[in-house]
Amino acid sequence: MPAIVLIGAQWGDEGKGKATDHLGDRVDYVVKFNGGNNAGHTVVVGDEKYALHLLPSGILSPGVVPVIANGVVVDIEVLFEELDALAARGVDVSRLRVSANAHVITHYHRTLDKVTERFLGKRQIGTTGRGIGPTYADKINRVGIRIQDLFDENILRQKIEGALHQKNHLLVKIYNRRAIEVDEIMQELLQFAERLRPMVDDTALLLHRALDEGKTVLFEAGQATMLDVDHGTYPFVTSSNATSGGAATGSGVAPNRFERVIGVVKAYTTRVGSGPFPTELFDESGDFLRNNGGEFGTTTGRPRRCGWYDAPIARYSARINGVTDFVLTKLDVLTGLETIPVCVAYEVDGVRVDEMPVSQSDFHHAEPIYEEFPGWSEDITGARRFEDLPKNAQDYVIALEKMSGSRISLIGVGPGRDEIVVRHSLTD
């Protein structure tokens, strides 16, 4: 099972970290290929809880080589904070490899992220404020700073001067902020350069060789399909490709090497930040999901918007990503509900629409059409085989499977590492 991609099928926070951790001892490399420290993955191992942002969740598995590939945007200070915090808790972080081509988040990207959001007013995206969008914008505008630039001071200075020449006009004249000095940014980046140097690599070549040797490589997406800059609910998206195609461009591993695509999907839906969300709940059912599911952001602590499962979105994700297996997480959170509504289609201007509407405006006012399923009250956190689940829970899973475009291979029944029901192995 050489190259496996693991993606979020909804709006993020589906439990990708836990799913990666579950695969941990069966993979040799775990690669982060998109996003940066906007991600927040919580992994619970025994009594220990880890919150990972920039590092791939595989770093918690002994023996795994974690890789930050070219498609990632790296806040170097955050990188070392996260590495040091893990090392202090006894995690071996020595194997981390970082692409020389990954782009670097600086002080001016974080500042621009925050001020542009403020200026958007009611139209704001609700970003994590980590500088993600401005850093990807610089990459596309060909004025970005890459990891490799840190090892050539002349080049680094020229690039920062070029970038600030334009940014300071914006900051001072449009946003009424102070200008940023070139030396400030030089200092911000160079203070870490020597510590970073031994980790920097041609990660595309590294992964290519690993796959040639028959190693198993897991590509772990940050964010999710509906936050993908091309396939998500634009403009209420993140600035990278969080879908499976992003694993190829974001790592330099060719598409024909990927053999399996794992879609992680919650048994209901959540979203952080602005943008359309047809099944969103504003009543006590929403509070039930938020409180029972602990739906507060790992990165920003914001309460997550909550709603019922949306089957057209799962089907859309299955198609866009080529999902071969779904991991259905947080089934336990639904315990205690008398009935569980599932969105099976939408109504747009009085017309039934079975798939994601073509136009974003239609999606904004799509009304969910629900089918109701009977709930269960038994505690399911001890279930390890499908047969251990109450009949109604089994029926709910089977119904979702039929509607969602791919088989459900794993079912999460609690946050812990072992709280999982395996229906089909993800690595056979």
**Pick the catalytic residue: 13, 28, 75, 310?**
13
133 binds, among ligand IMO, Mg ion, ligand GDP, none (CB under 5 to 8 A by kind): ligand IMO
332 binds ligand GDP (CB under 6 A): yes
Based on CB atoms, which residue is closest to ligand GDP, 48 or 212? 48
Q: From the CB of residue 235, how many other CB atoms can be counted at a distance below 10 Å?
A: 12
Is residue 45 within the footprint of ligand GDP (CB under 6 A)? no
Of 170, 185, 182, nearest to 113 (Cα)? 170
Task: Give the CA dihedral 392, 265, 218, 418, nearest 10 degrees.
Answer: -40
Stretch that binds Mg ion, among 71-79, 141-149, 191-199, 297-305 (CB under 5 A): 297-305
- Per-residue contact flags (x/-) with Mg ion for residues 33 to 62, judged by CB under 5 A: -------x----------------------
Indicate if 13 belongs to the active site: yes
Q: How many CB atoms are closer than 10 A to CB 347?
A: 14
Query: Using CB under 6 A as the criterion, which residues of the chain lie in contact with ligand IMO when the complex forms?
Result: 8, 12-13, 38-41, 125-128, 130, 132-133, 222-224, 227, 238-239, 272-273, 298
Greatest CA separation for the chain: 67
Kindly compute the dihedral angle of the four CA atoms of residues 185, 186, 188, 190, in this order, to the nearest 10 degrees: 160
CA dihedral 206, 263, 49, 337 (to 10 degrees): 180
Picked from ligand GDP, Mg ion, ligand IMO, none, the partner binding residue 223 (CB below 5 to 8 A depending on kind) is: ligand IMO
Please pick, from the candidates 164, 318, 333, 426, the single residue that binds ligand GDP as defined by CB under 6 A.
Answer: 333
Residue span binding ligand GDP (CB under 6 A) among the ranges 144-152, 168-176, 177-185, 324-332: 324-332
For 300-425, list the strands marked E by DSSP: 305-307, 309-310, 325-329, 339-348, 351-353, 367-374, 407-412, 420-422
User: Shortest distance, CB of residue 297 to ligand IMO, whole angstroms?
Assistant: 7
Query: Is there binding between residue 413 and ligand GDP (CB under 6 A)?
Result: yes
Pick the piece of the chain touching ligand GDP (CB under 6 A) from 250-258, 318-326, 327-335, 341-349.
327-335
Residue found under tokens 């969105």: 343
Q: In whole angstroms, how close is the CB of 376 to ligand IMO at the nearest point?
A: 28
Please give the Cα distance from 358 to 375 (Å, whole number): 33
Start-to-end CA distance of the chain, whole Å, equals 7
Stretch that binds ligand GDP, among 10-18, 86-94, 112-120, 161-169 (CB under 6 A): 10-18
Tracing tokens 């191992």 back to the chain, one arrives at 45
Whether 107 is catalytic is no
From ligand IMO, ligand GDP, Mg ion, none, interface partner of 279 (C-beta below 5 to 8 A by class): none
Q: Decide: 9 and 326 in contact? Cβ < 8 Å.
A: yes
10 binds, among ligand IMO, Mg ion, ligand GDP, none (CB under 5 to 8 A by kind): none
- Kindly list the distances between the CA atom of residue 378 and the CA atoms of 14, 374, 394, 396, 413, in Å, as whole numbers in the listed order: 23, 13, 12, 14, 12
- Applying CB under 6 A, the residues found at the interface with ligand GDP are 8, 12-18, 40-42, 44, 294, 298, 329-330, 332-333, 412-415
